[in-house]
Amino acid sequence: MTERNRGPHVLVRSPGPAAGTVAGRRDGLNGRRRRSVTGSPWTPYFFLAPAALYLVVFQLVPLLQEVWLSFTRTTLLNPTFSAWVGTANFQSIFANPAFRQTLLTTLVYVLACVVGSVGLGLGVALLLNGRFPGRPVARSLVTIPWAAPGIAVALIAVWMFNPQYGILTRLLRAVGIDPGASGVLDNPQLALGAILVTTIWQLVPFVAVVLLSALQAVPQELVEAAQVDGAGRWTIFRVVTWQVLKPTIGLVAVLMTIWSLRRFELIWLMTRGGPIGSTRTLVIDLYAQAFESKQLGTAAAIGMVGIVISLIVIVGSQLVARAAAKEA
Amino acid sequence: MRSARLGVTARLIAVLVVLGLAIFPIYWMFVTALTPDENLFGATADLLPDLSRLGVFANALADGKVGRWLLNSFVIAAGTTALSIGLGIPLGYAMSRFTFRGKAAVGLTLLFTQMLPEALLVVPLFAVFRRFDLLNSLHGLILADTAFTLPVVALILKGAIDGVPRDLDEAARVDGGRPLTVLTRIILPLIAPATAAAAVIAFFSAWNEYVFAVTFVFDKSLQPASVGVASFIGEQDTSIQSIMAVALLFTLPAVAFYLFAQRYVVSGMTAGAVKG
């Protein structure tokens, strides 16, 4: 509202949609540029209200309830009764070595997802950006992993890692890695790796396609000028391509971080957080606390930790991006 | 000349390797569905499908349970899409064309909701749903799924509307058009591709949604395919061939639509995740 009141045009406007239209027509005839469309000051709220109301009911209110739950002792068996316990849930999760293991697993999982997907995605993008026959078809087909539903991906991964007959288990045996009788997904040393391979397989196409479109902004005349000057491929990449890609890579990395922090189905369906907690990330821990241990308060506290981490990532990345923009 | 040709060949080989890795698991679903037991559980794996067994897909569909799953998924996904687009268009329009108090807060909220895991809100939503009698129903799942698709859809549409020159609105307003008319007559036809992309994203995120569906629906007859397919994991009674056939039937629509709408979807997703 304050923004709108700054302009002198408000003086000629009286409330009501009809008057708004008249004012709008006058704006048009005067040929002046307006930042907003005509109508009363309530017009934007008219368009905004249904969605805003919806998000308040189905996102904001549940979120606030979850915040409140994190300070209570509430069980799934009797969810309408909550006892206020202050910060006890937070104290108990941080005192628990298993939760520290969860944080560490989450860190490893997220970092590996980001590095793996961005690194390989960049490689695939550079590969597909070159000239070769059938390029449009290749660019489409490469996105298939990302388009496949996560549930189906989990299912095929479980089958491919089947302890006896899985094709990947056969492959591992062939190269001399024995995952043991109960298979890769039940092996504490290998399970997280298997989940990472599956996750990264699914993420790489998305990163590649995004970076591929960013690559179109690389000025070709600059590349050619560098070639004329005798610059090698690596130098051209570092001096020209990388500089163009940097902001997009930063952005994709943040996106991959947030997505990996909240990824649930794939991990839950492949291992349920096991064996012996080796694939238990924050979201898995949260879900298991709520629906297996039936401790809604503890689960909510774990959720809050996840939210704080995500917020730190987002705010931190914004600060870095801003500092980088200032430097440039 | 020769080295350039060699470069192309090397690149082509690398591309084929990448494509092979990308497609193999989906291909493997297909092969598994079409391989008889004795070859599946032998000492070595058969890498080619037995095409004489294509009937496995028809059999999977003939199973009433699977048809029901896919139909439920379709209803949930279509409902979520309609509701997300219906609420997202006006929201995107307001965010793109108006200045108003609280706009920054709305923008931040739309970004913030994208980092909330479904698993976090499933408990409090369960309580809300019980109060409003929305548990164990497809429309309840539509409402829950829309809460998570709406922010993405709205941001994509806002980005698309930002791309429509304001001069067009101005011209329409000179002719006496009110904001709602400008939206429906001028803007909507111009953002049709982005709307289609947003619809694809909303549709398949509901198609694939699992946490709400597995928690809020108890009747087997109301289960969507995501829950049905997931229930195969660790199950012994169904043959692996049927399982893979069903999983492939569940996967193909998503892959087909994403390939078709890929360009818009990717630009939409990045715009949605980036700009506020």
| Shared domain check, B254 and B209 | yes
Chain pair A-B, CB pairs under 8 angstroms: 287
- Cα angle for residues B22, B201, A59 (degrees, 5° grid): 125
Q: Does domain A90-327 have CATH number 1.10.3720.10?
A: yes
- The sign of the torsion formed by the CA atoms of B201, B111, B159, A4 equals positive
Nearest partner of A213 among A245, A166, A257, A170, judged by Cα: A245
Instruction: List the 279-318 stretch of A: residues with Cβ below 8 A of B.
Output: 283, 286-287, 290-291, 296, 299-300, 303, 306-307, 310-311, 314
pLDDT tier for residue B3 given thresholds of 50, 70 and 90: low
CA distance A97 to chain B (A): 22
Shared domain for B142 and B38, answered yes or no, is: no
B194 and B115 inside one domain: yes
Determine contact, residues B50/B34, Cβ cutoff 8 Å. yes
Strand partners, A295: A75
Chain B positions touching A39 (Cβ under 8 A) are 178-179
> What pLDDT was estimated at residue B267?
66
Mutation target to probe the A interface, by most A beta carbons within 10 A, among B84, B96, B98, B214 is B98
Residue B270: pLDDT band with limits 50, 70, 90: low
Q: Which of residues 129-158 of A touch B (CB under 8 A)?
A: 130-133, 138, 140-158
The verdict on a CB contact (< 8 Å) between A144 and B26 is yes
Q: Phi and psi dihedrals of A72, rounded to 5?
A: -130, 165
Cβ atoms of A291 and A76 within 8 Å: the answer is yes
- The answer for A 203-232 residues in CB contact with B (under 8 A) is 204-206, 209-210, 213
User: What is the per-residue pLDDT for B92?
Assistant: 92
In this structure, are B20 and B73 located in the same domain?
no
Q: How many domains does chain B have?
A: 2
> What sections of B34-165 are H helices per DSSP?
37-40, 55-62, 64-97, 103-112, 118-131, 138-162
Q: Could you identify the residue written with the tokens 């008249």?
A: A22
> Quick check: helix, strand or coil at residue B49?
coil
**ipTM of the complex model:** 0.88
pLDDT at residue A300, rounded to an integer: 93
**Are residues B191 and B244 both part of a single domain?**
yes
In chain A, which residues have their Cβ closer than 8 Å to the Cβ of B128? 57-58, 61-62
pLDDT of residue A20: 38
Both B153 and B36 in one domain: the answer is no
> Is residue B20 domain-shared with residue B121, that is, in the same domain?
no
Q: List the single residue in A51, A61, A303 with the smallest CB-CB distance to B120.
A: A303
The pLDDT profile of chain A, 328 residues, written as one tens digit per residue, is: 333 333 333 333 333 334 334 444 444 444 444 444 456 788 889 999 999 999 999 999 999 999 999 999 988 887 778 889 888 899 999 999 999 999 999 999 999 999 999 999 999 999 999 888 888 889 889 989 988 999 999 999 999 999 888 899 999 988 988 888 888 999 999 999 999 999 999 999 989 988 988 888 888 888 888 888 888 888 888 888 898 898 889 889 988 998 899 999 999 999 999 898 999 999 999 999 998 888 999 999 999 999 999 999 888 888 888 888 787 6
Residues of A whose CB is below 8 A from B32 = 159
Same domain, B24 and B104: no
Distance from CA of A47 to the nearest CA of B (A): 5
State how far residue B52 is from chain A, nearest Cα, in angstroms: 22
Are residues B199 and B239 part of one domain?
Answer: yes
Handedness of CA B191, B193, B196, B202 (dihedral sign): negative
B114 within domain boundaries: yes
In this structure, is residue B43 part of a structural domain?
yes
B208 closest CB neighbour out of A76, A149, A291: A149
For residue B58, tell me if it sits in a domain.
Answer: no
Cβ neighbours of A283 (radius 10 Å): 27
> Which residues in chain A touch residue B274, judged by CB atoms under 8 angstroms apart?
251
- β-partners of residue A75 are A295
Q: Is the pLDDT of residue B112 over 90?
A: no
For residue B106, give the nearest of A28, A50, A52 by CB distance.
A52
Q: Is B140 within 8 Å of B134 (Cβ atoms)? A: yes
Cβ-Cβ contacts under 8 Å for B66 (sequence gap 6 or more): B60, B225, B228, B246, B249
Q: What is the chain A residue with the closest CA to B230?
A: A151
Asked if residue B59 belongs to a domain, the reply is: no
Q: Per the CB < 8 Å rule, is A1 touching B100?
A: yes
Sorted by where each begins, the domain ranges of chain A are 2-85, 90-327
Between these two residues, B25 and B271, which has the higher pLDDT value?
B25
Tokens of A293: 């241990």
CATH number at residue B122: 1.10.3720.10
The answer to whether residues B90 and B224 belong to one domain is: yes
Q: Which of residues 4-33 of A touch B (CB under 8 A)?
A: 4, 17, 20-21, 24-25, 27-29, 33
Residues 82-121 of A with CB under 8 A from B: none
Domain that holds residue B45: 1-53
Helix A97-129 to helix A242-262 angle (10° resolution) is 140
Residues B134 and B90 in one domain: yes
Instruction: Please write the tens of the pLDDT for every residue from B175-200.
Output: 777 888 888 888 888 888 889 888 98
For B186, the token pair is 């001028």
- Supply the pLDDT for residue A15: 38
Q: Are residues B120 and B249 in the same domain?
A: yes
Please report whether residue B103 resides in a domain. Answer: yes
| Continuous segment of H or E residues that includes residue B227 | helix B225-231
